[in-house]
Amino acid sequence: MAWKTAIMGATGAVGTEFLTILEQRNFPLASLKLLASSRSAGRKLNFKGEQLVVEELTEKSFKGVELVLASAGGSISKKYAPIAVAEGAVVVDNTSAYRMDPAVPLVVPEVNPQDIQLHKGIIANPNCSTIIMNVPVWPLHQANPIRRIVMSTYQAVSGIGAAAMADLAEATRAALEGREYQQKVIKFPAAFNVWSHDSGIAEDGYNVEEQKALNETRKIFHCPSLRIPATCIRVPVMRAHSESINIEFTNPMTPAQVRAILGKAPGVKIVDDRARNYFPMPRDATGQDDVLVGRIRQDVSQDGGRGIDLFIAGDQIRKGAALNAVQIAELL
């Protein structure tokens, strides 16, 4: 089956990654339409050696379209996804617009592919840091139910968008040259700095990104009792997120058991070379489909051998966004 497909938000960082992944995976396309704002209309993007012209996104863009890969912002998805569904398309939405809607499945294909069957026209792609954590944590949860995850992230600026990646590059260049540079997108000094994730802070002190880790994982795992205190931090890395994961299991779990489980887990690559002190790095994760997992060790602070520590890295634009959505479409 070949799909008449549209990419909504085709000129953004995730939109252009959609093109790369569709070509690399030889996704069955009957046709491909590129949609973006009026500012980007007329631009040409390369796909399989051809130059495709970007069209302006309008309410009439979805006639004859069967599949929409959406990554144009939550408000855009809220407006246009129902229009696409009314025209008969299935929308795989990469924004936060529908993630916590009880009528919309939230899917990581390595975790809950069966939930795709529940869709009513829209399937939500989880948040990037949630996806990257869920891929290696889920097979461990299946083997030994998890009670609590303490999550600390080191998130690349690619999560803010393509403009932020350019901002970081220029800010770093300016810092090295000793000149002033007024950042255009990133809120805090980016070069040689780390800063708290730039999402809103709730009254309890947790920001939106940290709340997503808890609420989305509970929904994906179908585990409403799971506890996840998170701390999400931006780092001056161009692309690929890293995360420190501390897990409390119901029953004892050893590092050897973790390695055996993750060695067979889909979407996971173990990088755990103690002799060379070589573990997951965002530089190595960039451009990779798999989530890298290492620093696998017993948490000596937990009684009864029920604690495990991990350090992971995953490409935020690929598995954390575009690849996950294309995998959902492939399962359709």
Span 76-82, average pLDDT: 97
Strands 29-36 and 146-155: unpaired
Question: Cα-flanking dihedrals φ and ψ of residue 201, to 5°?
Answer: -100, 130
Instruction: Sheet with 146-155: list strands edge to edge.
Output: 195-196, 230-234, 146-155, 241-249, 307-314, 291-298, 268-270
Instruction: Sheet with 90-93: list strands edge to edge.
Output: 44-47, 50-56, 29-36, 3-8, 67-70, 90-93, 122-124
What domains lie within the chain, and their CATH numbers? Answer: 3-126+321-331 (3.40.50.720), 130-316 (3.30.360.10)
Span 131-159, average pLDDT: 97
**CA–CA separation, 9 vs 15, rounded Å?**
6
Other Cβ atoms within 10 Å of 266 Cβ, number: 11
Percent of the chain with pLDDT over 70: 100
pLDDT tens digit sequence for 230-265? 999 999 999 999 999 999 999 999 999 999 999 999
Residue 199 CB contacts under 8 Å (≥ 6 apart), including other chains: 207, 208, 209, 232
**CA–CA separation, 310 vs 332, rounded Å?**
32
232 is catalytic: no
Q: Tell me the torsion sign for CA atoms 44, 47, 49, 52.
A: negative
Tokens of 250: 């119901």
Residue 40 CB contacts under 8 Å (≥ 6 apart), including other chains: 10, 11, 54
pLDDT tens digit sequence for 190-219? 999 999 998 899 999 999 999 999 999 999
pLDDT at site 1: 81
pLDDT at site 234: 97
Band of pLDDT at residue 228, cut at 50, 70 and 90: very high
pLDDT tens digit sequence for 171-193? 999 999 999 999 999 999 999 99
Of 128, 141, 197, 232, which one is the catalytic site residue?
Answer: 128
- Per-residue pLDDT at 154 exceeds 90: yes
CB distance 109 to 324 below 8 Å: yes
Of 119, 141, 197, 241, which one is the catalytic site residue?
Answer: 241
241 is catalytic: yes
- Per-residue pLDDT at 106 exceeds 90: yes
pLDDT at site 195: 96
**CA–CA separation, 66 vs 44, rounded Å?**
23
Span 116-122, average pLDDT: 97
Band of pLDDT at residue 274, cut at 50, 70 and 90: very high
Q: Is the pTM of this model over 0.85?
A: yes
Percent of the chain with pLDDT over 90: 97
Residue in the block written with tokens 């889909």: 266
